[in-house]
Amino acid sequence: MIRAVRGIVGGLVVAAGGVATAWLSAAPIRPVLGGRAVVRLVWSGRPERIDECRRLTDAELEAVPAHMRLRVKCEGRTVPYALRVVVGDREVFLDTLRGGGARHDRPIHLFQDIALDPGEHRVRITVERLDSAAAAVTADSLPIEGTNAVGGREGREAEERARARREALPPRLVLDQRLRIEAGAVVLVRYDPDRKALWFDPGG
Amino acid sequence: MPESADTNRLPRSMARLDAWANRLFGSRYNPLYQSGTIVVVLWLLLLVTGLWLLLYYRVGAPWRSVAGIAENPWIGGWIRGAHRYGSDAAVVATAVHALRMFLQRRTWGPRTLAWVSGVVLLGVVLVSGWTGFVMVWDWFGRELAVGGARLLDLLPLFSEPIARAFAGDRPVGNAFFFINLFLHVALPLGLGAVFWLHVSRLQRPLLLPPRALGWSVVVAMIALAVVIPAPLPPEADPYRVPSAIPADWFYGFWLPAVDWFGPGSVWAGFALGTIGLILVPWLTRPKVADRPAPSRVDSQLCTGCQQCALDCPFEAITMVTRTDGRAELVARIDPARCVGCGICAASCAPMGVGPEGRTGRDQLRAVEALIDSGRVTGRVVAFGCDRGAAALGVALAVREVEMLAVPCVGNVHTSAIEFLVRAGARLVLVLGCPPRDCWNREGPRWLDERVHHDREAELKARVDRRRVAIAEVDPLDSAAALALMDRLIRERNLDPPVAADRRPALDLECEPVPVEEDR
């Protein structure tokens, strides 16, 4: 092949490679939710905890190493919740929410995108406790006068249990509202722990 | 001489592509052969441009700082473009390099470490690229971040899903961008350590391409960045879901799969792909009986000159103190490192080293048999590499060319060439592979030095150089090989039949070294 022709063809090959590289460097991908209207459920909340507390006898307490002694021993579980999203009169999402972690004793973290057609919709979101047992708040779970050993730990434990109860999700949350969402827009559904209510956050 | 084996050769499609690239760029600058060294050039380009970009990047305002760089046409936009296209080209060059090694079966035995570390290098390159695109925090960067977080969230490691960080209910923290930046700097530097491992079993590893090619690659990246500026999509906005996102497919190829098949499937794909790649050396290695025998040393003949240790491309030969009372060192082969190329056999003047059946003495015996059969005098005799030119044997036989297949032209002992010339061969052709594509790395190079530059074991001055030629040929193009042969015969005036000066006597040429006299 003549040298000049070789040079030209070689240059064209390199240029074609460059153009292909540039094209693949910016070729569009189309996200599954692309162009839809999205309701994004994104909140965290501590699930309600059902504790069963009892006072240890003196003999039981003796069997425990000194630095681990607590008069009130509590064992419990966190409750699951049913999450239901209805748009218009159509149920679009149903799930069971559990606390995070292997023992489900951590807060519930929710991150779920729900795609809708753009426009106005009535959106109804409910979160309901599935466990019918009520949280046990008995005298057993309270510290006893004079047993508050190890630097007031029993008091702190009781306070912590009370705080967890205060912060827990209520047995039922409902957000029922008409919503207008444009194509490509995302509306967040968030949880306000002070008001213990869900709310729409259109951003911006 | 061993028979040629088709399994050693490149698939025809790849060989054709090679031949095309050789015609366009010449074998020395063939980017397919140089794909590995091109990755190194691109890595250097990325380091230099990356350092520049680092000066202007702000973790507190990632997208805005990148937009500021991109808007500067003089010293911003094209540097960012070269950085981006360079990273894309690095993935392409890595893939070509790996594919070539795989197709050439340069994956097993002593090359296992290079292959496995290469897989690690590819992984680090992809993760490093991920951090780089996320740093920009445009639409694509956010998509990559969410996709990556969805993959990580599948692992039972985190109580709170990482993807939550990008949901929009709270701003993405500066710490995230700082960690990204740190990784984006640290990972490429860490590449250096893995890269050292990658070439650690090679003697004289070629790290850079010829200078002209290296600079051409750099200029091509810059030119591309100037002509087609790297795109910068709008800033990431968690409250928007764009219908299409300009994406870099070299690093984001897996993103659609996360949506279509779920993170679990993508993990499975990555895991299977990685395991499959890592197992390649064990899946592609030939059966024990089919593997080339490693070299052996005849310590009686070894004079301790160290030439074989110098020439071995894989550092498989070391010189150790003798235990038989003689003063000099003796070569010792590490079979685990020896690929059986036989290059050492041709480096040894007393012919005391080499794979069984392919030592200098074995070659002389094969040449002697050929001479005895009357197929040398007045004819052209060719040595052809098993992995390339030996395939031309049938086509060349039509013109009464004798083809001697060798595992590598670096294995051809100069004494064998001399024997053929002295026995009256019209022309001795050694048809090798392009030096940069030699399966055994340095075969054509050492052959050339032994024939033309007095490297041990050199072709003796008494040999008529007109009757010896070394050439690279396309194994699919027998017409070109015949044309080359005709041209050499014509140009070197080799037409008149030549008469043998004498029939060389092997026993006289290869007298064993009298050990007693050396003591």
Specify whether B63 is located in the same domain as B191.
yes
Contact A6 B24 (CB under 8 A): yes
Nearest CA in chain A to B160: A109
pLDDT at B324 over 90: no
The answer to whether position B14 is within a domain reads no
Q: Which pLDDT score, from 0 to 100, does residue B186 have?
A: 95
pLDDT at B236 over 60: yes
Specify whether B275 is located in the same domain as B397.
no
Tens digits of residue pLDDT in B298-314: 999 999 999 999 999 99
B446: left (phi over 0), alpha (psi -120 to 50) or beta: alpha
Q: Which pLDDT score, from 0 to 100, does residue B238 have?
A: 92
B473: left (phi over 0), alpha (psi -120 to 50) or beta: beta
Predicted confidence band at B8 (pLDDT cuts at 50, 70, 90)?
Answer: low
Specify whether B272 is located in the same domain as B406.
no
Please check whether residue A98 is in contact with residue A104, taking contact to mean a CB–CB distance below 8 angstroms: yes
Task: Name B321's bridge partners.
Answer: B329
Tens digits of residue pLDDT in A85-124: 999 999 999 999 998 888 888 899 999 999 999 999 999 9
Residue A5: partners with Cβ closer than 8 Å, 6 or more residues away: none
Specify whether B257 is located in the same domain as B386.
no
The domain tally of chain B equals 2
Q: Please name the residue that has the structure tokens 């392409």.
A: B92
Nearest-CB residue to A111 (from B161, B224, B259): B161
Ordered strands of the A90-97 beta sheet:
A90-97, A81-87, A119-129, A172-181
Mean pLDDT of B29-50: 96
Mean pLDDT of B343-349: 96
User: Smallest Cα–Cα separation from B135: which of B172, B88, B89, B165?
Assistant: B172
Tens digits of residue pLDDT in B114-129: 999 999 999 999 999 9
How far from each other are the two terminal CA atoms of chain A, in whole angstroms? 63
Nearest-CB residue to A21 (from B88, B168, B169): B88
pLDDT at B1 over 50: no
d(CA B101, CA B459): 32
Task: Name B92's bridge partners.
Answer: none
B18, B91, B239: best mutation site toward chain A, by most A Cβ within 10 Å? B239
d(CA A125, CA A178): 11
The answer to whether position B400 is within a domain reads yes
Q: Which pLDDT score, from 0 to 100, does residue A157 have?
A: 77
At B33, which amino acid appears? Y
pLDDT at B221 over 80: yes
Contact A25 B85 (CB under 8 A): yes
Mean pLDDT of A121-140: 75
pLDDT at A135 over 70: no
Mean pLDDT of B84-91: 97
C-beta contacts of A98-102 below 8 A and 24+ residues apart: A98/A47, A99/A46, A99/A47, A100/B159, A100/B160, A101/B159, A102/B156
CATH number for the domain spanning B381: value is: 3.40.50
Instruction: Give the rounded percent of residues in chain A with a pLDDT score beyond 90.
Output: 53
The answer to whether position B246 is within a domain reads no
Contact A185 B240 (CB under 8 A): yes
Nearest-CB residue to A188 (from B89, B168, B255): B168
Cα B20 from chain centroid (whole Å): 18
- Give per-residue burial for B71-80: e unless 16+ CB within 10 Å, then b: eeeeebbbbb
Tens digits of residue pLDDT in B164-209: 899 998 899 999 999 999 999 999 988 889 999 999 999 999 999 9
Domain limits for position B170: 30-236+251-284
B429: left (phi over 0), alpha (psi -120 to 50) or beta: beta
User: Smallest Cα–Cα separation from B254: which of B148, B116, B134?
Assistant: B148
Specify whether B43 is located in the same domain as B176.
yes
Collapse the DSSP code of A99 into the 3-class scheme (helix H, G, I; strand E, B; otherwise coil) and give the result: coil
d(CA A103, CA B461): 84
- Give per-residue burial for B112-126: e unless 16+ CB within 10 Å, then b: bebbbbbbbbbebbb
Q: Which residues of B fall within a CB distance of 8 Å from A185? A: 239-241
A170 interface with B at CB cutoff 8 Å: no
The answer to whether position B297 is within a domain reads no
Specify whether B96 is located in the same domain as B206.
yes
Mean pLDDT of B273-288: 94
Mean pLDDT of A132-161: 62
Specify whether B398 is located in the same domain as B269.
no
d(CA B149, CA B307): 56
CATH number for the domain spanning B275: value is: 1.20.810.10
Nearest CA in chain B to A3: B24
d(CA B334, CA B326): 22
Task: Name B380's bridge partners.
Answer: B427
Q: Which pLDDT score, from 0 to 100, does residue B518 have?
A: 44
d(CA B322, CA B342): 23
Q: Which residues of B fall within a CB distance of 8 Å from A22? A: 85, 224, 228
Average pLDDT in chain B: 90
Contact B160 A24 (CB under 8 A): no
Q: Is the peptide bond before B247 cis (omega within 30 degrees of 0)?
A: no
pLDDT at B150 over 80: yes
The answer to whether position B294 is within a domain reads no
pLDDT at B388 over 90: no
pLDDT at B513 over 50: yes
Mean pLDDT of A12-34: 94
Contact A34 B242 (CB under 8 A): yes
Cα B305 from chain centroid (whole Å): 29
Please check whether residue B314 is in contact with residue B205, taking contact to mean a CB–CB distance below 8 angstroms: no
Q: Which pLDDT score, from 0 to 100, does residue A106 have?
A: 87
d(CA B384, CA B371): 18
pLDDT at A60 over 70: yes
d(CA B457, CA B348): 6
Average the pLDDT over each of A51-55, A61-65, B202-206, B399-403 and give the range with the smallest value: A51-55
Residue B299: partners with Cβ closer than 8 Å, 6 or more residues away: B322, B324, B330, B352
Residue where a domain terminates, one of B284, B308, B341: B284
Q: State the Cα angle at B468 between B465 and B474, rounded to 5°.
A: 145
B171 backbone dihedrals φ, ψ, rounded to 5°: -70, 150
d(CA B513, CA B53): 65
The answer to whether position B293 is within a domain reads no
Give the CA count within 13 Å in the CB-facing half-sphere of B497.
6
Longest dimension (CA), chain A: 103
H helices of B57-108, in order, are 62-71, 77-103
Radius of gyration from C-alpha coordinates of chain B: 28
Q: Which residues of B fall within a CB distance of 8 Å from A187? A: 239
The answer to whether position B311 is within a domain reads no
Handedness of CA B30, B32, B37, B43 (dihedral sign): positive
User: Smallest Cα–Cα separation from A186: which of A91, A101, A116, A94?
Assistant: A116
Contact B238 A100 (CB under 8 A): no
At B169, which amino acid appears? D
At B84, which amino acid appears? R
A188 interface with B at CB cutoff 8 Å: yes
Predicted confidence band at B157 (pLDDT cuts at 50, 70, 90)?
Answer: confident
Nearest CA in chain B to A100: B159
Residue B122's alpha-carbon distances to B102, B191, B212, B373, in angstroms, are 15, 10, 26, 53
